[in-house]
Amino acid sequence: AEQLNQLQIKPQAIVLEPVGRNTAPAATIAALMLLKKDPKALILLLPSDHIIENQVGFQNAISVGAEAALGGYFVTFGIEPEEANTGYGYIHRSTPIQHLTECYSVRKFVEKPDLSMAEYYVSTGTHYWNSGIFLFSAKSMLAELVEREPNIVSNCDAAINHAKMDLDFIRLDENNFSKNPSKSIDYAIIEHTDRAAVIPVEIGWNDIGSWDSLWKTGKKDCLLYTSDAADE
């Protein structure tokens, strides 16, 4: 709230979860709240701890993705792989979606592979790192969720109806929200829907999930000398 205030941005809402229940309930809360104001609302779901260095490239990809999302697709952003990394899940693209630039239907989502399989994925040119960033319409998401996980929708709706305002925040009702299973939107919807789409991007993305990732993206302010260099 303080950071937004410093940027002179007034958000529609800052919603606080009383307990963690992964991304499916969180996205459901957003969808329910947004649909009360705009039946065509889109949701861009982003992890908070990722780095995107090419912001213009990302904005351009979002513009393409928004068109797909308005058409009922659940859009993912696939990162062009730089190496055979075993720390990421992969997205296997299928055929291009008509009338949408560089947007493909998803053939399959793949869990984190071993090294040999990761090397194969990179060699195909049709596999991307799964960034965990999704873009979809609130209406489409709730329609899928009502079919697959109706209890999440009803629990989240009750949590909103019994929420309380607290200064800059909306505090969801704990009794109702805690009834939700801890389930990601990947497992609840994205990996099961036949409307999943992927947009390949090169946007300077990193999820900072390891010390190696932090080293690659961080600014260096020191020199490292080996014992041999010190002797010289």
pLDDT, position 218 = 77
Query: Can you give the pTM of this predicted structure?
Result: 0.88
pLDDT, position 225 = 62
Q: For residue 220, is pLDDT > 90?
A: no
Angle at 28 (CA atoms; ends 94, 54), nearest 5 degrees: 55
Q: For residue 211, is pLDDT > 90?
A: no
Q: For residue 228, is pLDDT > 70?
A: no
DSSP 38: -
- Distance between CA atoms of residues 223 and 232, nearest Å: 15
DSSP 78: E
Q: For residue 97, is pLDDT > 60?
A: yes
Condensed to tens digits (0 to 9), the pLDDT of residues 153-195 reads: 999 999 999 999 998 899 999 999 999 999 999 999 999 999 9
Count CB-CB contacts under 10 A for residue 175. Answer: 12
Q: How far apart are the first and last CA of the chain?
A: 53
- Locate 11 and state its tokens: 């958000």
Condensed to tens digits (0 to 9), the pLDDT of residues 10-45 reads: 998 999 999 999 999 999 999 999 999 999 999 999
State the chain's mean pLDDT as an integer.
92
Q: Sort 219 into a burial class: Cβ within 10 Å, 0-12 / 13-18 / 19+.
A: exposed
Nearest one of 124, 53, 54 to 92, comparing CA atoms: 124
- Strand runs (DSSP E) across 1-96, as ranges? 15-16, 42-45, 51-52, 74-79, 90-96
pLDDT, position 223 = 64
pLDDT, position 99 = 87
- Distance between CA atoms of residues 213 and 208, nearest Å: 5
Count CB-CB contacts under 10 A for residue 65. Answer: 27
Count CB-CB contacts under 10 A for residue 207. Answer: 18
- Locate 65 and state its tokens: 């993705």
